[in-house]
Chain A
Amino acid sequence: MTTETLETHQYDVIVIGAGGSGLRAAVAAAEGGLKVAVITKSLLGKAHTVMAEGGAAASFGNLDAPDGWETHFYDTMRSGHFINNYRAVEIFALEAPDRVLELEEWGAVFDRTSAGRIMQRAFGAHSFRRLCHIGDHTGLELLRTMQYKSIHSGIDFFMEVTLTTLLKDGERVAGAFGYYRADGRFVLFRAKAVILSTGGWGRIYKITSNSWESTGDGAAMAFRAGADLTDMEMVQFHPTGMVWPPGVRGLLVTEGVRGEGGLLYNSEGERFMERYDPARMELSSRDVVARSIFKEVQAGRGTPHGGAWLDISHKGAEYVKRKLPAMYEQFLTLADLDITRERFEVAPTCHYTMGGIRVDAESCASSVPGLFAAGEVAAGLHGANRLGGNSLTDLLVFGRRAGLGASAYVQAWQGDAPKVDQATVEAEMVRIVAPFQRSEGINPYQLHQQLQELMTVHAGIMRSGDVLAEGLEKILDLKDRARQMMAAGSRTYNPGWHAVFDVENMLLLCEGIVRSALERKESRGAHWRTDYPDELEEFQRVNYVESYRDGEIQVRTEAVSPMPERLAKLFTYGKAPGLVSPAEREAMG
């Protein structure tokens, strides 16, 4: 039994994860006068949010006046293939512009229109030019702005602290436990409310645009603590990741390249999107473009390294360097290629997890009292496919909502602060140092690679029942072997030790993905099954919801809430609501 002293902190609200949604949540909670801490496993300002490039969607209509929240709502529901939580989408579309303007007041400097307003660019499956951006580093702008806002908001920060478990007092959340990465020291946070803003789990695939952090820690911890997950089968493959050289495979090529006029070609020089979506072409939704590239490669019309050509050189060097500076630099440095002069290869790369913790649209509350979630770790807004540009605004809209939701929960608190069970904490201490005590065991990095290969083959962009079922067997086998993962060396800044917990979290979520993917016997959005190639009406009415009880994942269906008349009406005009004249509306009732 360990005898080391346990550093303990007490807060009203702890926020786990310091990306855009976590910082926005912390600011909202701190503005309510609560004692708030943000805990991040990285340094402040490094979260995966910085990887977002193209922009933040908000229907200002600065360039396209007919845009408005109704059309943003319409585009988001359509791209989510109608299994989204409609209320979340409504809140999102309504509140997005205010959240972007807040950023402007806090220091973000977006590109400008000639009228001196925020510039907006076209993006896949958005009816109007809608993405507020600063070149192709909008995520960096959002995160840096939130970082400097939050350090002046009376919030405490714990950097490079990894949490391994949530703690509960009866049904309610009571805090979290983990360790400082710098020296391996244990730390306990007691809190009335916990907000999870830990991002997605894109590291489960071999070819991914996701950073080190995206290992699904928050979703896995919440799942173990009793929170429901939903839409786990929905994983987005971004159509355009880098392909060559191998060292950079999967690295994101922003959709902004197509938004700014980039064209896709196959090896025969055809603009193949004509075959799959002639109306929207390169600016079709991500699920469609990714599948189209995949099909072209399968049909033998791929580029030398198995992708499609993307070409933006016709826009001129000056324009490309101004609007896509990071892309220009990325290809020049990492691939010796000048995108202002040459076309380049792209292929799908794992990008985003639409599924996650099932939350209330208004407050971001999960099914565990006191536990809230926002951003990629939460589910419901994006349905079966996320629109580009919606994730950054998601962080702001629902980050704030989670902060307010947690504040209201804390303010309504009656009685004593939640108790933390000492025996549970001691058992966790023993569990997390156990990998050091195995003198023979499995290297977690190698297990991670096996998991990535398995998921790519068995639950990737193209799925079928047999292959998924076989994948599930393999995951269960890996889970068994994962009990033997070991760590060498000391507890001082030990990434191999950390990887043990990353892999455990990813394994649990991978099992969840495959179990829901087996159940959804149709193709919808990002979920493409070759044995059920059609989108089926009956499946539009359900979300797959998972709970974790006694070490087993249980999958059930929950009905998708039908839209009320005022929103359902928006889909009856046969075109984007922004393009419907008042007279036409009148005529249609």
Chain B
Amino acid sequence: MSEGITLSVWRGDKDGGEEVGYQVPAVPGMVVLDALHWVQQNAQPDLAVRWNCKAAHCGSCGAEVNGEPKLLCKTRLDDYAGETVRVRPMATFPVIKDLVTDVSWNYQVAEQIPPLDPAVPAPFTMYQEDASRVQEFHRCIECFLCQDTCHVLRNHDGTDKYFGPRFMVKIAEYEMHAVDQGDRVPLLAQAAGLNMCNVTKCCTEVCPQHIRITDNAIIPLKERVVDRYYDPIRTLFRRLAGR
């Protein structure tokens, strides 16, 4: 493994920037984040990259490697043998510096989701089959790679129209919770903008936690919205009942 790695890292800030090349010595099992740390330690200490755990548990180091949204700590350099590894910040969010983007919009969205509203106090009687239905959603590490790749947010400036896949997963987590009595269907139909999603599954493809975002969260939520607002029989009953 004496071969070096050629990195091309986007350096800049909100006023613009460009890719800068670095040569980094290779170590077996090295990930992209290791290479960026090498650059910090040996060449450019001010190279900005957000990271915390380097174990794919925290979701801080999302960026784009050769055009694909990835966790830098989980992306092995030997997957790119012989290639220049191009690292750029997530394109959907405003850049702060280098690979660090301003993801604060996501935190504003999070505040708009009503929390779990349990019908009974704990301890809950809940069986594993009920837990299993939602535990997949609990694996989310909020890396926001799904938000980065979602074309509604990325290409159509849709942050005022759609909460994005991350928050469909969050809403699904509560809506499908066995003890929850909250109702987030009106939110989904309106402010959350679930109808903006046209199920291209790009979010599912980039999820480093392998959450089946589209199949298991978004589609079942769309069914709830359709049942509530567009089911002709229900609509008829609603009209007859004067509601």
Binding site for B on A (CB under 8 A): 42-48, 50-51, 101-102, 104-112, 114-119, 134-135, 137, 139-141, 144, 148-149, 151-152, 157, 159, 182, 209, 211-213, 244-248, 251-252, 325-326, 329-330, 333-335, 443-446, 449, 487-490, 492-497, 499
Selected A-B contacts with CB under 8 Å, 30 pairs: A43-B60, A45-B58, A46-B52, A46-B59, A47-B58, A50-B57, A105-B122, A107-B116, A109-B126, A111-B128, A112-B130, A141-B138, A144-B138, A148-B110, A148-B113, A151-B107, A152-B111, A211-B58, A244-B29, A326-B57, A333-B74, A445-B40, A446-B41, A449-B41, A487-B46, A493-B100, A494-B48, A495-B40, A495-B46, A496-B46
CB-based nearest B residue for A246: B27
B31 & A107 in contact (Cβ 8 Å cutoff): no
A50 & B29 in contact (Cβ 8 Å cutoff): no
A107 & B47 in contact (Cβ 8 Å cutoff): no
A492 & B103 in contact (Cβ 8 Å cutoff): no
Interface 0/1 of B105-126, CB less than 8 Å to A: 0010011010110100111111
B residues near A151, Cβ cutoff 8 Å: 107, 110-111
Partner of A118, one of B113, B123, B142: B123
B55 & A251 in contact (Cβ 8 Å cutoff): yes
B residues near A139, Cβ cutoff 8 Å: 57
Task: Give the distance in Å from the alpha carbon of A335 to the alpha carbon of B76 in the complex.
Answer: 10
Cβ of B96 under 8 Å from chain A: yes
B96 & A493 in contact (Cβ 8 Å cutoff): yes
A residues near B170, Cβ cutoff 8 Å: 148
B135 & A109 in contact (Cβ 8 Å cutoff): yes
A residues near B173, Cβ cutoff 8 Å: 107
A140 & B46 in contact (Cβ 8 Å cutoff): no
Interface 0/1 of B21-64, CB less than 8 Å to A: 00000011111001000001100111111111111111110000
Task: Give the distance in Å from the alpha carbon of A487 to the alpha carbon of B48 in the complex.
Answer: 13
A residues near B125, Cβ cutoff 8 Å: 115-117
Cβ of B174 under 8 Å from chain A: yes
Task: Give the distance in Å from the alpha carbon of A148 to the alpha carbon of B106 in the complex.
Answer: 13
B177 & A493 in contact (Cβ 8 Å cutoff): no
Task: Give the distance in Å from the alpha carbon of A157 to the alpha carbon of B17 in the complex.
Answer: 30
CB-based nearest A residue for B116: A107
Partner of B116, one of A48, A106, A496, A499: A106
Name the 10 nearest CB pairs between A and B, nearest first: A245-B29, A496-B45, A489-B46, A247-B29, A107-B116, A101-B122, A116-B125, A445-B41, A104-B122, A493-B97
A residues near B116, Cβ cutoff 8 Å: 105-107
B126 & A112 in contact (Cβ 8 Å cutoff): yes
CB-based nearest B residue for A106: B116
Task: Give the distance in Å from the alpha carbon of A493 to the alpha carbon of B50 in the complex.
Answer: 9
Most buried by A among B50, B104, B111, B177: B50
A residues near B53, Cβ cutoff 8 Å: 46, 48, 50-51, 211-212
B residues near A489, Cβ cutoff 8 Å: 45-46
A212 & B57 in contact (Cβ 8 Å cutoff): no
B residues near A47, Cβ cutoff 8 Å: 52, 58
A111 & B131 in contact (Cβ 8 Å cutoff): yes
Which residues of chain B from 117 to 162 have a CB within 8 Å of any chain A CB?
A: 118, 121-128, 130-131, 134-135, 138-142
B residues near A115, Cβ cutoff 8 Å: 125
Task: Give the distance in Å from the alpha carbon of A213 to the alpha carbon of B121 in the complex.
Answer: 35
Task: Give the distance in Å from the alpha carbon of A139 to the alpha carbon of B234 in the complex.
Answer: 43
B56 & A182 in contact (Cβ 8 Å cutoff): no
Shortest beta-carbon distance from A339 to chain B in Å: 15
CB-based nearest A residue for B113: A148
Task: Give the distance in Å from the alpha carbon of A443 to the alpha carbon of B44 in the complex.
Answer: 10
B135 & A135 in contact (Cβ 8 Å cutoff): yes
B residues near A144, Cβ cutoff 8 Å: 138, 140, 142
